Protein backbone atom coordinates (compact mmCIF):
# COMPACT_ATOMS: atom_id res chain seq x y z
CA UNK A 1 0.00 0.00 0.00
CA UNK A 2 1.28 3.48 -0.84
CA UNK A 3 2.33 5.39 2.30
CA UNK A 4 0.02 8.19 3.37
CA UNK A 5 2.88 10.36 4.60
CA UNK A 6 5.98 11.61 2.84
CA UNK A 7 9.12 12.47 4.79
CA UNK A 8 12.01 14.78 3.87
CA UNK A 9 14.97 14.82 6.26
CA UNK A 10 17.32 17.83 6.42
CA UNK A 11 14.64 19.83 4.63
CA UNK A 12 16.18 23.21 5.52
CA UNK A 13 19.82 24.25 5.06
CA UNK A 14 21.69 23.72 8.34
CA UNK A 15 22.29 27.40 9.08
CA UNK A 16 18.68 28.34 8.40
CA UNK A 17 17.40 25.49 10.54
CA UNK A 18 19.62 26.45 13.48
CA UNK A 19 18.46 30.05 13.29
CA UNK A 20 14.81 29.00 13.22
CA UNK A 21 15.30 26.60 16.14
CA UNK A 22 16.99 29.31 18.23
CA UNK A 23 14.11 31.67 17.55
CA UNK A 24 11.42 29.16 18.51
CA UNK A 25 13.33 28.31 21.68
CA UNK A 26 13.39 32.03 22.49
CA UNK A 27 9.62 32.11 22.05
CA UNK A 28 9.59 29.50 24.81
CA UNK A 29 6.14 29.16 26.39
CA UNK A 30 4.87 32.56 25.25
CA UNK A 31 1.15 32.18 24.42
CA UNK A 32 1.51 28.41 24.84
CA UNK A 33 -2.05 28.05 26.01
CA UNK A 34 -4.32 28.33 23.03
CA UNK A 35 -1.35 28.53 20.67
CA UNK A 36 -3.11 26.34 18.10
CA UNK A 37 -5.59 29.16 17.53
CA UNK A 38 -2.78 31.60 16.72
CA UNK A 39 -2.48 30.78 13.05
CA UNK A 40 -0.94 33.15 10.50
CA UNK A 41 -1.39 33.50 6.75
CA UNK A 42 1.47 33.96 4.30
CA UNK A 43 0.87 34.59 0.59
CA UNK A 44 3.75 33.45 -1.62
CA UNK A 45 3.26 36.56 -3.77
CA UNK A 46 4.64 38.62 -0.85
CA UNK A 47 8.13 38.65 0.66
CA UNK A 48 8.43 36.65 3.89
CA UNK A 49 7.94 38.64 7.08
CA UNK A 50 9.37 36.15 9.59
CA UNK A 51 11.68 33.17 9.89
CA UNK A 52 8.82 30.69 9.57
CA UNK A 53 7.78 32.20 6.26
CA UNK A 54 11.35 32.06 5.01
CA UNK A 55 11.32 28.37 5.91
CA UNK A 56 7.97 27.88 4.17
CA UNK A 57 9.45 29.07 0.88
CA UNK A 58 12.29 26.54 1.21
CA UNK A 59 9.83 23.79 2.11
CA UNK A 60 7.73 24.61 -0.97
CA UNK A 61 10.80 24.15 -3.18
CA UNK A 62 11.50 20.72 -1.64
CA UNK A 63 7.98 19.30 -2.05
CA UNK A 64 6.87 17.29 -5.09
CA UNK A 65 5.60 19.91 -7.58
CA UNK A 66 2.48 17.86 -8.33
CA UNK A 67 1.39 18.08 -4.68
CA UNK A 68 1.33 21.89 -4.52
CA UNK A 69 0.41 22.88 -8.07
CA UNK A 70 -2.65 24.89 -6.99
CA UNK A 71 -1.10 26.51 -3.92
CA UNK A 72 -1.36 30.24 -3.21
CA UNK A 73 0.08 30.43 0.29
CA UNK A 74 0.36 28.79 3.70
CA UNK A 75 -1.36 28.93 7.05
CA UNK A 76 1.16 28.26 9.80
CA UNK A 77 1.37 28.05 13.57
CA UNK A 78 3.78 26.95 16.28
CA UNK A 79 3.04 23.47 17.59
CA UNK A 80 4.44 23.26 21.12
CA UNK A 81 3.33 20.62 23.60
CA UNK A 82 4.35 18.24 26.32
CA UNK A 83 3.63 14.72 25.15
CA UNK A 84 2.69 13.78 28.71
CA UNK A 85 -0.35 16.05 28.29
CA UNK A 86 -1.37 16.01 24.64
CA UNK A 87 -4.33 18.34 24.31
CA UNK A 88 -4.86 18.10 20.54
CA UNK A 89 -7.45 15.57 19.40
CA UNK A 90 -7.41 13.68 16.12
CA UNK A 91 -8.68 15.99 13.43
CA UNK A 92 -8.62 17.04 9.80
CA UNK A 93 -7.17 20.44 9.01
CA UNK A 94 -9.84 22.76 7.65
CA UNK A 95 -10.95 26.36 7.23
CA UNK A 96 -12.44 26.65 10.72
CA UNK A 97 -14.22 29.97 10.18
CA UNK A 98 -15.88 28.67 7.01
CA UNK A 99 -16.94 25.49 8.81
CA UNK A 100 -18.37 27.42 11.76
CA UNK A 101 -20.36 29.69 9.44
CA UNK A 102 -21.58 27.18 6.85
CA UNK A 103 -20.81 23.63 7.99
CA UNK A 104 -18.71 23.16 4.83
CA UNK A 105 -15.37 21.41 5.45
CA UNK A 106 -12.68 22.89 3.21
CA UNK A 107 -9.24 21.34 3.61
CA UNK A 108 -5.76 22.52 2.65
CA UNK A 109 -4.13 21.09 -0.44
CA UNK A 110 -1.30 19.71 1.68
CA UNK A 111 -0.66 19.49 5.42
CA UNK A 112 2.95 19.53 6.61
CA UNK A 113 4.77 19.42 9.94
CA UNK A 114 8.33 20.70 10.32
CA UNK A 115 9.96 19.12 13.39
CA UNK A 116 12.52 21.07 15.36
CA UNK A 117 13.61 18.57 18.04
CA UNK A 118 13.35 15.06 19.37
CA UNK A 119 10.93 14.32 22.18
CA UNK A 120 9.57 11.57 24.40
CA UNK A 121 7.06 9.66 22.29
CA UNK A 122 4.95 12.11 20.31
CA UNK A 123 4.69 10.18 17.05
CA UNK A 124 2.53 11.77 14.36
CA UNK A 125 -0.29 9.35 13.45
CA UNK A 126 -2.01 9.75 10.06
CA UNK A 127 -4.96 7.78 8.69
CA UNK A 128 -7.63 7.98 6.01
CA UNK A 129 -10.32 7.03 8.56
CA UNK A 130 -12.46 9.83 10.02
CA UNK A 131 -12.21 11.04 13.62
CA UNK A 132 -14.85 9.56 15.90
CA UNK A 133 -16.26 11.98 18.51
CA UNK A 134 -17.35 9.01 20.63
CA UNK A 135 -13.76 7.86 21.19
CA UNK A 136 -11.12 9.33 23.53
CA UNK A 137 -9.09 12.01 21.71
CA UNK A 138 -11.60 11.62 18.82
CA UNK A 139 -9.45 8.72 17.59
CA UNK A 140 -10.72 6.77 14.57
CA UNK A 141 -12.20 3.35 15.26
CA UNK A 142 -9.38 1.61 13.40
CA UNK A 143 -5.83 2.33 14.51
CA UNK A 144 -4.29 1.72 11.11
CA UNK A 145 -1.85 4.63 11.20
CA UNK A 146 1.15 5.76 9.26
CA UNK A 147 3.56 7.00 11.93
CA UNK A 148 6.32 9.61 11.78
CA UNK A 149 8.93 10.09 14.49
CA UNK A 150 9.85 13.71 15.31
CA UNK A 151 13.47 14.46 14.41
CA UNK A 152 15.23 17.80 14.00
CA UNK A 153 14.83 19.31 10.52
CA UNK A 154 12.43 16.57 9.38
CA UNK A 155 9.36 17.44 7.32
CA UNK A 156 6.27 15.22 7.23
CA UNK A 157 3.71 15.96 4.51
CA UNK A 158 0.36 14.43 3.60
CA UNK A 159 -2.93 15.12 1.83
CA UNK A 160 -4.81 17.88 3.66
CA UNK A 161 -7.97 15.76 3.78
CA UNK A 162 -6.41 13.08 6.02
CA UNK A 163 -7.05 12.58 9.73
CA UNK A 164 -4.07 12.99 12.04
CA UNK A 165 -3.11 13.36 15.68
CA UNK A 166 -0.20 13.12 18.11
CA UNK A 167 0.48 10.09 20.31
CA UNK A 168 1.48 10.58 23.93
CA UNK A 169 4.85 10.14 25.64
CA UNK A 170 4.41 6.34 25.52
CA UNK A 171 3.24 6.49 21.89
CA UNK A 172 -0.27 5.51 22.92
CA UNK A 173 -3.52 7.29 22.15
CA UNK A 174 -3.74 10.35 24.44
CA UNK A 175 -5.76 9.74 27.57
CA UNK A 176 -4.73 10.11 31.19
CA UNK A 177 -1.96 12.60 31.87
CA UNK A 178 1.49 11.09 32.36
CA UNK A 179 4.41 12.28 34.50
CA UNK A 180 5.35 15.72 33.23
CA UNK A 181 8.49 15.86 31.11
CA UNK A 182 10.74 18.92 31.06
CA UNK A 183 10.99 19.69 27.38
CA UNK A 184 8.41 20.69 24.81
CA UNK A 185 7.86 18.87 21.54
CA UNK A 186 8.65 21.67 19.09
CA UNK A 187 7.28 21.72 15.57
CA UNK A 188 5.73 24.10 13.07
CA UNK A 189 2.57 23.25 11.15
CA UNK A 190 2.69 24.68 7.62
CA UNK A 191 -0.45 23.99 5.61
CA UNK A 192 -0.56 24.79 1.90
CA UNK A 193 -3.78 26.33 0.60
CA UNK A 194 -5.21 27.13 -2.82
CA UNK A 195 -6.99 30.14 -1.27
CA UNK A 196 -6.69 32.00 2.02
CA UNK A 197 -8.72 30.54 4.90
CA UNK A 198 -11.30 32.95 6.26
CA UNK A 199 -10.18 35.39 8.92
CA UNK A 200 -6.58 34.21 9.27
CA UNK A 201 -4.35 37.30 9.76
CA UNK A 202 -0.78 37.79 8.63
CA UNK A 203 2.10 37.49 11.09
CA UNK A 204 2.55 41.27 11.31
CA UNK A 205 -1.15 41.69 12.05
CA UNK A 206 -1.00 39.15 14.88
CA UNK A 207 1.68 41.08 16.77
CA UNK A 208 2.99 37.92 18.44
CA UNK A 209 6.28 36.04 18.79
CA UNK A 210 8.76 38.87 18.08
CA UNK A 211 11.61 36.33 18.34
CA UNK A 212 10.56 35.10 14.89
CA UNK A 213 11.23 38.50 13.32
CA UNK A 214 14.30 38.05 11.07
CA UNK A 215 15.41 41.63 11.84
CA UNK A 216 15.49 41.06 15.58
CA UNK A 217 19.01 41.39 16.97
CA UNK A 218 20.49 38.33 18.61
CA UNK A 219 21.21 38.71 22.29
CA UNK A 220 18.39 41.19 22.86
CA UNK A 221 15.65 40.77 25.47
CA UNK A 222 13.79 37.48 25.18
CA UNK A 223 9.98 37.37 25.18
CA UNK A 224 8.26 35.75 27.94
CA UNK A 225 -1.10 -1.54 12.60
CA UNK A 226 1.30 1.00 11.93
CA UNK A 227 3.79 1.85 9.29
CA UNK A 228 6.59 3.71 11.00
CA UNK A 229 8.83 6.10 9.06
The CA-based dihedral angle spanning residues 108, 89, 32, 215, taken in that order and rounded to the nearest 10 degrees: -20
The total number of structural domains in the chain stands at 1
Any domain includes 216: no
List the domain range (segments joined by +) for residue 88.
Answer: 6-26+35-209
CATH at residue 164: 2.60.120.10
Residue 100 lies in a domain: yes
- Residue 21 counted as domain residue: yes
Tell me if 220 is assigned to some domain: no
The reported pTM is: 0.92
Is residue 14 in some structural domain? yes
**Positions of the chain with pLDDT lower than 70, given as ranges:** 217-229
Tens-place pLDDT, residues 116-160: 999 999 999 999 999 999 999 999 999 999 999 999 999 999 999
209/211 Cα distance (integer angstroms): 5
From the list 164, 159, 120, 130, the residue with the least C-alpha distance to 145 is 164
Torsion of CA 167, 53, 50, 215, to 10 degrees: 120
Residue 146 lies in a domain: yes
Amino acid sequence: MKPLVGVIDEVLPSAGFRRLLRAVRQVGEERLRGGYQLTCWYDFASPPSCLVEQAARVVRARLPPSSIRRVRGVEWWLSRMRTSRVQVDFHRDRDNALFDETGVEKNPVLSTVLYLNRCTGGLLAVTADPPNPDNPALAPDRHDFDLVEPRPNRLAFFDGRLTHGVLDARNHLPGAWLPRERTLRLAIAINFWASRPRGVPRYAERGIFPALDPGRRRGGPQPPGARAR
